[in-house]
Structure 1
Amino acid sequence: MRYLLFIAAGYCCGSILFAYFLPKILYDVDITEISDDKNPGTHNAFKYGSKVVGTEVLILELLKGFLPVFLGTQFLDVSNNVFAVVMAAPVLGHAYPLYRHGRGGKAIAVTFGVLMGLFPIITPLSLLVFFYLLFSCVIRISPDSCKSIVTFLCFGVSALLLIDIRAVAAGCVVITAIVLYRHYQKHMTESLEISLFRKRVV
C-alpha cells in the first residue's frame, strides 16, 4: 500500500506542469500555443516567459521529481522492484498528465529531479549529467531533441551496466523509455503538422 501511495503522489506531482501554468498566470502567455514545439517545458518557459519565471519553473520542476522520490527513499525499500515505478511516476505524470489528455512535456528537468531524490545514491544522476555534458560540449549534437534522445539512450544502457541496485537500474530504464517515447510522439506530431501545412499551401 505504501508503494501505491508514493506512486500516486509522484504521478500527481509530476502532472503539475509549472512551465505551462506560471507563464500563463504571470504573463498571460500560453507557451504550448506560441512555441514551435508546443512543449510545456522549462526551455520554453525561459524563452517565452522570462529568466525569472524560467528559473522558478526549473526549481519547481526539479522539486516535483525530487520530493516524491527522496521521501520514498526514507520510507520504502529502494531494492524492492516496485521502487522502479516510484521513480518513474513523476516522469510519467509530467509526460502524460490526465487533465491535459496526455499532452505533457518531454520530462527532462523532472528526470533530473527524480535522480537527485535518490541521494546518497549518485550514480544515476552522475551518468545523466555526464552524457548531457558529453553531447553538449565534446561531441556536439543538434538539435536539442536529438541530443536528448542520444543522451537518454546512453543513460539507459549505462544504468543497466553500472548501477548495482537492480530496482534503481530498472527505474532508470523505465524513465528512459518514457522520455524516448515522448520525444518520438512529439516528433511524429510535428512531422504531421508540417505535412498538413504543406498540403494546405499546395
Structure 2
Amino acid sequence: MVSFYLMLIAAYLIGAIPTGILLTRLSGAADIRKSGSGNIGATNVYRVAGKKLGILTLVGDALKGAIPVLAAMQLPGLAPAHIGVVAVAAFLGHCYPVYLGFKGGKGVATALGIFLVLCPLAVLGAFAIFAVLLWKWRYVSLGSIAAAAAIPLLIYFIDGRLAMVATTLFISLIVIWRHRQNITRLLNGSENRFKA
C-alpha cells in the first residue's frame, strides 16, 4: 500500500501543475490570473493569450488527469475504488494547487482527461451535450456544467461500477460548484459568449 499512497501524492502534485500559467509565462503573455476572468484554465488562456496556447493548456490540463489514472491502473492489486481516489487526487490538485496557494482552475479539462481513461464512451456522450449547447448558445460554461451534470449518469449506464460512479459524481459536483459564479452570470445574462 506504500506505492498507493505515493501514487496519491504524485497524482495531486501532477494535477497541481499550473499548465496555463507556465505556458503563458513562457510565451511572454500577461499573467492570466490578472486578465480576463482570472481563471488559470484553457478558456481564459484562449481569450487572453490566443488559440494556440488555449489548446495547449486544454491538452496539458487533460494530461494531468489522464496520466496519474493510467499510472494507477498499472499498479498491481489496485481496486476500482483506489483508482478512483487517485483520480480525485489529481483533480483536486488542479482545483486546489499547493503551488498557487490552493487557488486553481475549475477542473473541466482535468476531469476530461480522467474520464477519457475511465470511460471514453461516456465522454463522447458528454462532449455531444457540450458541443450542442456551445453551438446553440455560445457559452462554454453552460456546456461544461451540463456535461458535468450528465457524465455521472452516462458512466452509471455504461460502466455501472459503484466506485467509478461515486468518483465521477464527486468530481462533477466540484466542477459545477466551481462554476457557481458562471451560473449567476448565466442567470442574469452577463456571462461572456465564446468567440472562435
Tell me the TM-score normalised to structure 2 length. 0.81
Higher RCO, Cα 8 Å, sep 6+: 1
5 Å-filtered alignment, 1:42-81, equals 42-76=42-76, 79-81=79-81
Structure 1 residues 144-195: Cα deviation after superposition (integer angstroms, max 9, x where no partner):
223322221122233234322222222211210221121126767xxxxx9x
For 2:121, the equivalent position in structure 1 comes to 123
1:85 and 1:20 map into 2 onto residues whose CA distance is 26
5 Å-filtered alignment, 1:96-107, equals 96-107=96-107
Q: 1:185 to 1:136 in 2, by over 3 A?
A: closer
8 Å CA contact retained: 2:134, 2:142: no
1:180 and 1:79 map into 2 onto residues whose CA distance is 27
For 1:41, the equivalent position in structure 2 comes to 41
1:153 aligns with 2:149: yes
1:125 and 1:77 map into 2 onto residues whose CA distance is 26
2:71 and 2:44 map into 1 onto residues whose CA distance is 29
Structure 1 residues 9-32: Cα deviation after superposition (integer angstroms, max 9, x where no partner):
111111111111211232141011
8 Å CA contact retained: 2:21, 2:31: yes
1:60 and 1:30 map into 2 onto residues whose CA distance is 18
1:143 aligns with 2:144: no
Q: For structure 1, which segment, 12-21 or 94-103, has the greater mean C-alpha deviation from structure 2 after superposition?
A: 94-103
For 2:194, the equivalent position in structure 1 comes to none
Q: What is the CA-CA distance between 1:103 and the residue it aligns to? A: 1.4
Q: Give 3-state SS (helix, strand or coil) of 1:176's partner.
A: helix
8 Å CA contact retained: 1:95, 1:102: yes
1:169 aligns with 2:170: no
* Code of the aligned partner of 1:32: R
Q: 1:73 to 1:97 in 2, by over 3 A?
A: same
For 1:199, the equivalent position in structure 2 comes to none
2:70 and 2:137 map into 1 onto residues whose CA distance is 32
Percent of counterpart pairs with the same letter? 26
| Unmatched 5+ stretches in structure 1 | 189-193, 195-202
Q: 1:175 to 1:116 in 2, by over 3 A?
A: same
| Unmatched 5+ stretches in structure 2 | 185-189, 191-196
